Amino acid sequence: MIDAINKLQTESFIPLLGLLLVIMGVSLYVDNRAEQAASRYTVVQVTAAVQGWDSDSLSEGSAYERDTASVIDPSLERPAIFKARKLSRAGDQVAAIEAVREALAQTPGDPAVLNELGVYLIRAGRAAEAIEVLGQALVQRPGYDRALYNRALALSSTGRREEAIADYREALKLNPRYFEATLNLGNLLLDADKLDEAIEVLNRATGLAGNEGKARAFQSLGVALNRGGRAKEALKAYDRAIEFRPDYLLPRWNQVLLLTKEDTEQSRAAANERLEKIFQLQPDFAPAWFQRGRLASKAGDDDAALEAYTRAARLDPGFFKALYNRALLAQRLQRPESQQLFERLAVDFPERAEPLFQLARAAYQQSRHDQALALYERALALKEGDYPEARLNVGITLKALGRHEEALAAFDGLIAANPDYAAAHLNRGLVLVQLKRFDEAHGAYKAAVDLKPDYATALYNLGKLHAQKKDRAKAIEAYERALKIDPTHVRSAVNLGVERSAQGDLEGAVAAYRRAVEVSPRYSPAWRNLGVSLNKLKRREEAAEALRTSLEIDPNQLDVRNALGTIYSKLGQTELAMATLNEVLDQAPERVNTRFNLAIQLGRLGRVRDQEEELRRVLKLKPTHRKAAVRLARLHLDQSQEQAAIEALAPLASARKPNAQVLTTLARARWALGEKAAAQALLETAKADHPKDANPIAVEAELALAAGQRSQAVALYNRARALDPMNFEVTRLAPRLGTP
């Protein structure tokens, strides 16, 4: 029993926190427009799984005992044999062997004495000699069941399982009720994965012994049933083992493992009940505290899990998995001690690669990429290169360092060794995008999705490639597939909104952005894009609320604050608009568009001089700012300062193809100066260069009216109004013509 418990203490467990691949995003914005600001490439970083690290130990649910007790022949009544047995009980197997050899010298070839010698050789760890000696005994007495049993033990200990099975079968032919042979045969068949036969033999063993033997037989039967997928029967077999031996720890432990694996609320509660009983029997059983931590993690009680892992590690300072899970959980809870815990693990377990892997991840997240790369390479060296997750992250780190060709080579090598590794294909695609090899990137993303159809992140990046190629239908399809797989994939929801907005489907865009903020209420780009789309729909109050929320999350978004000021202006909240725009200018005085918007608000308040001064500031920062130049020129015209208006427009008038507003404003200035031919020439140029613009036709109507040509003015006005009824010059002229 003690050997079995010791074996359990080094048994391989599957920690909850290390079982899943962890996906982290490292990305860049690809456009400065508000609608596209949240569209980012995502890098997947994978955390090593703990399963299978202890290859020399039993897997979960398979813990069972082997009976290694050799059987001596009670018929021997000789002083030398009594002496040998006394020495063996005292632990001196060498002296016991010598004593039996003396007895054998007196009766050479005696099968009982040869069996006795075989027993002590087994106990001394000299199995090969034992097999030979016991074989001699069986030559002398072919039907000697004890010698067959002992030789089976020796054969089993040297890995000669099939020969051991044959000896047990032969012993049972001679003595069908030989309990130890029956139990050991069942265990060996279980080892060989001959489950049906093992179950049959172990069932038979349960009826061949007293309470202690029945308990051991039911324990092994439970393991066989569990491996055969008969979990409920296994639980009952373990219950029978406990019934015959209430202090039997091993079946209770296997029940805990089985129930934990079932992973339902009811099974977890039952597992915790059995753990309580284990703690009553053995309070310092470290694996049970480890399992308590796993169950607490599954229940979402991270504090209890951390306490349980800590206790397991304190009880068994060499229990790597408990120490490792404690560090992982501390890391997940963002506890400051997590870094120190991983560093200590790396020192105390220098042969383990996993702590180095986690230290590398932490270094990467802190942008210490050179250090991360060195740590990943050390972890890989410990695994002799057989560590796919570390190889993946080497490629990711090389990409972060800008060493794209090396990163691509790393991913190519990883895929060559692990062709079905979807994350490797995805990250290979991300590097190819950086190298502007977009067609190859598309193939890499497609390979990732083909390997893992529910890979939402791969679909997201595939959608981004389609969007980059302006294939909006395919981009939308990819984002929608990603969201169907993972409704919480906020970037897919945001980018879906971007594409729907680009197609003119503003209501669809709003629905996508609302979906994004529902799953991620603190994701400011989603609120920002929602506000932009609502503003385009002229739902100003809702737009302002969305932009305010975005700013509450990230107050440093000057574009959003500027847009909010503009919306306040459209809502007629001029003072609030000015205050908001001034907040932007306090942080970035050089923002010309914000200054222009502020100038508009000053004009609405009738502060003409202040407006003029602000427009001059705009033009000082950017002399070719068309809207500011035109607005300033119009102010000058309103004050009969025609030459000043012309000077304000001079930098724009010299362009290869001036804007229609620039040309028409210059035409009005030239007309006012009496230069009617020059004015008319400007209007003709404007109409020729901008045939769909209402401005030159409206100004021509204004000049016709000034010349007393009312009917011609009305006809021109109607033409301009048909092109753009909301045009500034059109609406300005309407009252003078007496038209609606």
DSSP string, 681-700: HHHHHHHHH-TT-SHHHHHH
Question: Which amino acid, 374?
Answer: A
Mean pLDDT of the residues in the chain: 88
Listed residue (299, 277, 301, 298) closest to 288, CA to CA: 277
351-395 pLDDT, tens per residue?
999 999 999 999 999 999 999 999 999 999 999 999 999 999 999
**What percent of the chain lies above the pLDDT cut of 70?**
91
The predicted pLDDT at position 66 comes to 65
Mean pLDDT, rounded, for 487-491: 95
Q: Which phi-psi region, left, alpha or beta, contains residue 658 (left: φ > 0; alpha: ψ -120 to 50)?
A: beta
* Closest to 155 measured CA to CA, from 178, 181, 173: 181
> Who's near 335: CB < 8 A, 6+ residues apart?
none
First to last CA, the chain: 101
- The reported pLDDT for the residue numbered 63 is 61
What pLDDT digit, counting tens, does each position of 586-635 carry?
999 999 999 999 999 999 889 999 999 999 999 999 999 999 999 999 99
Residue 540 tokens read as: 């100003």
Residue 737: the pLDDT is: 82
Per-residue confidence (pLDDT) for residue 707, from 0 to 100:
86
Q: Which two tokens stand for residue 617?
A: 């500031």
| Res 159 pLDDT > 60 | yes
Q: What digits encode the pLDDT tens for the residues 395-441?
A: 999 999 999 999 999 999 999 999 999 999 999 999 999 999 999 99
Q: How far apart are CA 267 and CA 290, in angstroms?
A: 17
Is pTM beyond 0.85? Reply is no
- Residue 277 pLDDT exceeds 90: yes
Residue 385 dihedral angles phi and psi, to the nearest 5°: 85, -10
User: Residue 592 in contact with residue 622, Cβ under 8 Å?
Assistant: yes
Question: Residues 648-657: pLDDT tens digits?
Answer: 999 998 888 8
Task: Please say whether the beta carbons of 271 and 291 come within 8 A.
Answer: yes
